[in-house]
Chains A and B, each alone.
Chain A
Amino acid sequence: MNNIVKKFLPQILAILFVVLIFGFLTINAQTNMDNRGIDFGFGFLSQESSFDVQFSLIEYSGSDSYARAFLVGLLNTLLVSFISIIFCTILGVIIGVARLSSNYLIKNSAAWYVEFFRNIPLLLQIFFWYYAALRALPLPEKANAWFGVTYMTVKGYYIPSMVWENLNVFLYCGLAAIISIIILRNYANNLRDNKGKQIPVLLYSLAILIILPLLSFLIGGVSLDFELPQLKKLSKISYIYEGGISLPPELIALVLALSLYTSTFVAECVRAGIEGVSKGQKEAAASVGLTPNQVLKLVIMPQALRIIIPPTTNQYLNLTKNSSLAAAIAYPDLVLVFAGTALMQTGKAIEIVSITMLTYLTISLTIAAIMNWYNKKIEIKEK
C-alpha cells in the first residue's frame, strides 16, 4: 500500500498541477476576453480575406477565404524551408568534408567559413542579403542576361518557364526509368551476394535515366518549349519582365541567408560524424583490399551517418522555425500573411497565434518523424 502511494502520488500531483495551471490560464483568458468584449471563435476562417499576397504557389486572390490565405502562407513557409534544407545539406556536407581535408588552404577556408557565418545573427544576415547584396542589383532595364536568358534584377530573378507538350508521356518514362533502376539494383545486389560478381550499377542507372526520357522526346511526341522573360515598360522609367517565372528577391535573400547560416551547423555535424568513426575502421577496410572510394562508401559513411543524422535533424527544425524571420523582409510566409495581415484584419489574436503555433509544431514533428524513420533505417541491425 505504502509503496503504491509512493509510486503514484507524485505523478498524480504533477498531473493535477499541470491541469490546474492550464485550467487557470484558460479561465483567466476567457474572463479577460469577456471583460473586453472580445469574441472567441474560428468562424473568421471562412470569411473573405480581402487582401492580396505577393507570391503564392496556389491560385489566390483577395476574394478567397482566410483559410486559403493560411494555406498560401503555409506553402510559402514550406517552400522556403524545403529549398533551404536542400541547399544547406549540400553545402554543409561539402564544407564538413573540406574541414577534414589534408590541404591547408581548403581546410582553413572551410574553418573560416564556418566561424564567420555561424557567429553572425541570422536576422542580420537576412537583412544583409536583402538590403545590401540584392539591392545592389541593377534595375530590370539595365540587367544583363545571365546564361543568355535569365535576368537578375532588384525586382527579382526572372527565368524562362517551361511549356510542355505531352508532359504525361515524359513523366511515365521517368517513372519507368526509376522502377527499372530499382529492379537493376536488386538484381545487382543478388548477383553480388550469391555469386560474388560486381556490375557497375551506377553507370547503368545513369544510362537508363538519360536514355528513357530521351526516347520520349524522339518517338513519344514530347516537346519542350521555353517562354522567355520579356522586358515590359510600366512607365517612362520603370520596367518589369513579363513571361517566364519570377522569383522574388525576398525569397532569394531568405534562402541565401538560411542555407548559408544553417550549412555551418550541418558542416560541423558532418565533421563530427566522420571524425567519430575510429581510425582503425578505415585502416582495417583498406587492409582487406577495399579502394579508398569503397572505404568511404561502405565502411566510413554508414557509421558516420548514425552520428550525423540526429543533430542534423535539429538543424533542419531550427531552419524551418527560423524561416519565420521572413516577415522582416516582406517574404509572405505563414507569419507575415496569417499571423500578420490576417491577424490585424480580424483581430483574432489568440485564435490565429494558436493556429500558427500548432502549425509550426506539426511541421517540426513531421520533419523529426521523417528523420527518425531514416535514422532507424540506417542504425545497426543487431541480429
Chain B
Amino acid sequence: MFKIIKQLTSVVAMFAVLFAFSTETMAAKKSKTLENTKKRGFVRCGVSQGLPGFSNADESGNWTGIDVDVCRAVAAATLGDATKVKFTPLSAKERFTALTSGEIDILSRNTTWTLSRDADIGLTFVGVNFYDGQGFMVRKGSGIASTSEFKNGTSVCTNLGTTTELNMRDFFDSRGISYEPVVFEKADEVVAAYDAGRCDTYTTDKSGLAAQRTKLSAPDDHVVLPETISKEPLGPVVRQGDSVWEDIVRWSLNTMIEAEEYGVNSSNADMMKTSNNPAIKRLVGAEGELGAAFGLDNDWNLRIIKQVGNYGESYKRNIADTGILPDRGPNELWTKGGILYVPPAR
C-alpha cells in the first residue's frame, strides 16, 4: 500500500515537472509585448524630438524618417497596418528609461549600439539601420579644413547623454588639446547656441550634422569636416526579456534590407509571389512558414514591403530626396560596395 502511494506521488511529481516544462516552453513562444500590442491596437515607438531624415514630424503631426519606418514595419507585420503606431518623442536623456520602464516597446531613435548599453542597462539592440560616425561642423570662413587644425581653447557644442560626449573627450585628450564642452539637453538648443557663435564647432553623428545644418540661419556658411572620429552603428532597441518581440523587430528591419537586395519593392511585391526564386517567394510569404515562428501569419513580410517599402525606398524617400545625405556611403548594400548585410530570411 505504502509502495503504491510512493509510486503514485512520484508519477504525479513527474507529470508536474513535465507540465511545468511544457508551459514554460509555451510561454517562451508567446510574446507578452506582442499580446499587449495586439490588444492595444497600436505599436508604441520612441523617436527623436525632430531629426530630419530619421524621425521628424510635420505640421500636421505625421512622422517620417528611416527610424520611423522601422516602427511602421513592425506595425505592418504585427497589426497589419503600418499607420497604427503611436510615436513618443524622447530626448537622449529620457530614451532608455522610457524603454525599460515600459512606456514604449521599441526605441528607434538614432541610438548607437555599444557594449555597455547592450549589456548593462536591460536593453537589447536588434540590428543596425544606419551606419554613422561622429564628425565636426565648423564655419566655412574659419578656414579650418581638418580636425587637426583645432587649437587649445576650442569650444564645442553638443548633446547631453550621447556617445558623442565620450568620443570627443577621447578625441581631444589623445591629441592633447584642451577644449570647452558646452552640453545641451535638446538638439535645437545646440543648434541655436552654435548659430549664435557660442561655440567654434558643433559635433555629433555626421548624419545629424547634415540634418541639423538645414536648421541653421545660413546653412551654406557651414561645412562638415571630412574626418570621422568614431563608429556609430545606429539601430532600434527593445527591452531585455522578450526574445520573441526582439526577433519580430529584428526581422522586420532585416526584411526591409533583404527586400532591397532581391529587388522587391512596394510596387512589385504582389507580382513577386510568382517569382522563380524561392528566396523571393519566402520574402513575400508565398513559400515557407516564416511568420509562425513569431506567432504571426504568413503575410507579415509582404505587408512590410507593400506598406513601408524596402530599405532603399525608405532611404531615398527620407534621406536622399530631402538632400540630407544623397550619397549612401556605407549604408549601401554589401552587393553594391556598402556594408549593409543581413542574415538570410529562411
Contacts and interface: CB of A to CB of B under 8 A. Distances in A.
Residue of A53, A135, A344, A347 with highest tally of chain B CB at under 10 A: A344
A237 B141 CA distance: 6
Contact of B200 (A135, A234, A340): A234
Majority SS at the chain B contact face: mixed
Contacts of B141: 236-237
Chain A contact-residue range equals 35 or more
B193 interface: yes
B215 to A, nearest CB: 15
Interface of B: 92-93, 96-97, 100, 116-117, 120-122, 138-139, 141-144, 149-151, 153-155, 160-162, 165-166, 168-170, 172-173, 179-185, 189, 192-193, 196-198, 200, 239-241
Nearest to A241: B153
B196 A135 contact: yes
Interface in A146-203: 154-155
A242 B153 contact: yes
Given A38-B100, A235-B151, A330-B183, 12 more contacts: A36-B100, A36-B241, A50-B166, A52-B168, A52-B179, A61-B173, A154-B198, A235-B149, A238-B200, A340-B161, A346-B120, A349-B96
13 contacts: A36-B122, A38-B121, A50-B169, A51-B181, A62-B173, A131-B192, A238-B200, A240-B153, A329-B189, A336-B185, A340-B93, A341-B161, A345-B116
Contacts of A343: 93, 161
A248 B180 CA distance: 10
Contacts, number: 124
B46 to A, nearest CB: 15
A289 B117 CA distance: 76
A37 interface: yes
B183 A332 contact: yes
B169 A38 contact: no
10 cross-chain pairs, A with B, having the tightest CB-CB distances, nearest first: A347-B121, A344-B161, A236-B143, A36-B122, A235-B142, A135-B196, A62-B169, A38-B122, A237-B141, A240-B153
A35 B241 contact: yes
A15 interface: no
Contacts of B138: 235
Given A234-B154, A330-B193, A344-B161, A37 B241 contact: yes
Nearest to B154: A234
Contacts of B121: 38, 347
A328 B142 contact: no
A52 B196 contact: no
A238 B151 CA distance: 11
